Amino acid sequence: MRVVLAEDHFLLRDGLVRLLTAFGHEVAAAVDNGPELLTALTDLRPDVAVVDVRLPPGFSDEGLRAAVEARTRQPGLPVLLLSQYVEPLYAHELLATGSEGVGYALKDRVSNGAQFIATIERVAAGGTAMDPEVVSQLLVRKARDTAMATLTTREREVLECLAQGRSNAGIAETLFISEKAVAKHIGNIFPKLGLPPSDTDNRRVLAVLAYLDR
């Protein structure tokens, strides 16, 4: 897997390069600002981009802007955003470029190297990986939606797990319920939200994210 990395803090950038390399992945470029990121993504066309949202020169949303522009030029380019902040607007703007191959991770919640690499690999394969806090904020945005209001508390918990990309087994383990109960809740959720049923995990996630983002 070829990775373009954008992170302005030297120690974190160097640590991510070492982590990716240790797991057998190639870091095609490691940059520290928005303009260089866009150039690297456009010229190198990596398998995935791992991008800090706030980069020089303005330290606002240069990383996000470069990633969105790169996905416009190269539709489907997998992008995992890294941020210190929970900002639904960032997720919204990235999802607006397409729901496949996107992720949003919070820096201070990354505590396991192998799991973080697995998250990057999932995004690179066209999957989704949204931090639970980001999903929660997207759910808040939809809280007044009539369809959302019909969900029970447990169904909302299952929906949140779905949007995080969890399988039925993963949801059951997280919520301490049976897989049969999970399947029943999902069977109730999708009709209430007007979403088509799906047998594959990623299609389910994409359907939920599309609903939360509209």
Residue 139 has pLDDT above 80, yes or no: no
Residue 28 has pLDDT above 90, yes or no: yes
Q: What is the pLDDT of residue 213?
A: 67
Read off the pLDDT of residues 161-205 as tens digits, 9 standing for 90 and up.
888 778 899 899 999 999 999 999 998 988 888 887 776 776 777
Q: What is the pLDDT of residue 152?
A: 92
Q: How many other β-carbons are positioned within 10 Å of the β-carbon of residue 196? A: 9
Say which residue, 190 or 30, is predicted with more confidence.
Answer: 30
Say which residue, 48 or 129, is predicted with more confidence.
Answer: 48
Read off the pLDDT of residues 73-91 as tens digits, 9 standing for 90 and up.
999 999 999 998 877 778 8
Contacts of 29 (CB under 8 A, 6+ apart): 4, 5, 36, 40, 44, 46
Q: Does the pTM exceed 0.85?
A: no
Share above pLDDT 70 across residues of the chain, in percent, rounded to a whole number: 96
CA distance 212 to 19: 33
**What are residue 128's DSSP bridge partners?**
102
**What are residue 79's DSSP bridge partners?**
49, 102
Closest alpha carbon to 71 in 132, 13, 129, 126: 126
For residues 155-179, b (16+ Cβ closer than 10 Å) or e, as one string?
Answer: bbbbbbbbbbbbebebbbebbebee
Contact 170, 161 (CB under 8 A): yes
